[in-house]
Amino acid sequence: MSADLVVLGLGYVGLPLARQAMRSGLSVLGFDVDAAVANALNAGRSHVDDLSDDDVADMIRSGFRATTDEAEISVAATAVICVPTPLSAEGGPDLTAVRAAAHTIARNLRPGMLVVLESTTYPGTTDEVVRPILERSGLVAGDGFFLAFSPERIDPGNERFGTHNTPKVVGGDTPESTRRAAAFYGRFIDTVVRAKGTREAETAKLLENTYRHINIALVNEMARFCHELDIDLWDVIHAAATKPFGFQAFYPGPGVGGHCIPIDPNYLSHNVRAKLGYPFRFVELAQEINATMPAYVASRAQNILNNAGLAMKGAFILLLGVTYKPNIADQRESPATPLARRLTALGAQVTYHDPHVNRWTASGADIPRSTDLEGAVVAADLVILVQNHREYDADRLAALAKRFFDTRGVTTAATTHRL
């Protein structure tokens, strides 16, 4: 038995990649160290937002199989690493899972295999970390096997751009590795962009997210002084966005979430400090601004209550939407979590409503969930729209609420408090 592809790490990145490859006719094997994940997938159960149980069941019927048996990796022509790289205590990526995946492949590497790292990391990881581990097999990169980096660009919940039509950047450690990686991805992705090498491909991903991180921080800081100056920043952005060139609209919010924006730019900043000895000041300032937004929202909430003659202590506050982006269940790095912690620390009684989240914790304690949306809105002393899911009619909810704080700029009533 042989396979065109084995995907190591069957999460938000690996599973959609496996599905798209299969839809284009490739034979795909999934590998994960978590037996519960593998067993659930083999039973047709999905654990990521962009794939339903029916999608996984279709994959299984088409020949996909998840395994925890690393020996099966040797049957694949291409191995793609899609494992997590969380932020380490030092501020860089924790490469524990990447190293483990590389060792797993090295034990099962065969001549001619293409190995691609997709996990987000700092420039130089593919060549300095992954390559030496793989070469312990006795095979040499660029000759005995081929090595490349291709940054993941998964945007959970995006209904316009998915794996097949989001351009794929690839950079190999040799020109032949780049060619082979481009040919592989070209079998199931519409557009493949060849970078000069692995470091350029690694840095491209960090530049994408750093660009967003810094521009979000810009409008978040503007939100603070525009509020003090009685300027409607949302109207300002709308007006500025009418310029057909030289401007891209970014919007303020209660903080940034997900794996990419609050984490990836730190990899670049950490790498610059570690290797060059000086700070990447734009990134560090952006991180400072964005990280303080939940506390700023809590402070604004306290002022809203104070102006109504109410104390924060004992006030009933309802948070609407606790995921990091709308219309999905993903809570990774959601700003709702530090916001709830801050409100609770100030003495508020916090509850939440989210159509995608049945259980939510902050500071290790469960936050009570409201199932009656309109009833909870009417009863709360203050409602804070943290995430605007499509299920919410924000203007209607604002009309029902005693006080409504819109952190997403979607309401129209003059009586609504907006970020």
Of the candidates 341, 282, 13, 253, the residue with the CA atom closest to the CA atom of residue 155: 13
Which one, of 270, 242, 74, 261, lies nearest residue 155 by Cα?
261
Lowest mean pLDDT among 86-100, 135-149, 167-181, 325-339: 86-100
Strand partners, 40: none
pLDDT above 90 for 342: yes
Q: Determine the average pLDDT of the residues in 348-359.
A: 96
- Active-site choice (13, 28, 95, 260): 260
**DSSP one-letter code for 367:** P
Provide the percentage of residues in the chain whose pLDDT is more than 90. Answer: 84
Comparison of pLDDT for 278 and 153, the residue scoring more: 153
Whether pLDDT at 190 is above 90: yes
Residue 7's pLDDT band, with cuts at 50, 70 and 90, is very high
Q: Are 272 and 391 in contact (CB under 8 A)?
A: no
Quickly count helices (H) and strands (E) in the chain: 15, 15
pLDDT at 268 over 90: no
Q: Where are the beta strands (DSSP E) in 18-156?
A: 28-31, 65-67, 76-81, 114-117, 146-149
| Measured CA distances, 65 to 3, 12, 37, 43, 311 (Å) | 11, 17, 12, 10, 56
Cα–Cα distance, 145 to 23 (Å, whole number): 26
Distance in angstroms (rounded) separating the CA atoms of residues 388 and 301: 18
Q: How confident is the model at residue 191 (pLDDT cuts 50, 70, 90)?
A: very high
HSE-up of residue 36 (Cα within 13 Å, Cβ side) = 1
Does residue 308 contact residue 324 with C-beta atoms inside 8 Å?
no
- Residue 330 CB contacts under 8 Å (≥ 6 apart), including other chains: 12, 49, 156, 157, 258, 323, 324
Tokens of 313: 């202590």
Q: How much is the pLDDT for 237?
A: 97
Within 8 A by CB and 6+ apart from 97, the residues are 9, 83, 84, 85, 119
The residue length of the chain stands at: 419
SS3 314: coil
Q: What is the pLDDT of residues 132-180, one digit of tens each?
A: 999 999 999 999 999 999 999 988 888 899 899 999 999 999 999 999 9
Q: Which residue has the higher pLDDT, 199 or 88?
A: 199
DSSP 353: E
- pLDDT tens-digit profile of 35-52? 999 999 999 999 988 899
CB count, 10 Å around CB of 412?
Answer: 10
**DSSP summary character for residue 93:** B
State which amino acid sits at residue 169. Answer: V
Clarify whether 260 is annotated catalytic: yes
Domain annotation for the chain: domains and CATH numbers: 3-198 (3.40.50.720), 218-418 (3.40.50.720)
Under the banding of pLDDT at 50, 70 and 90, the label for residue 279 is confident
Confidence label for 245 from pLDDT (cuts 50, 70 and 90): very high
With H, G, I as helix, E, B as strand and everything else as coil, classify residue 57: helix
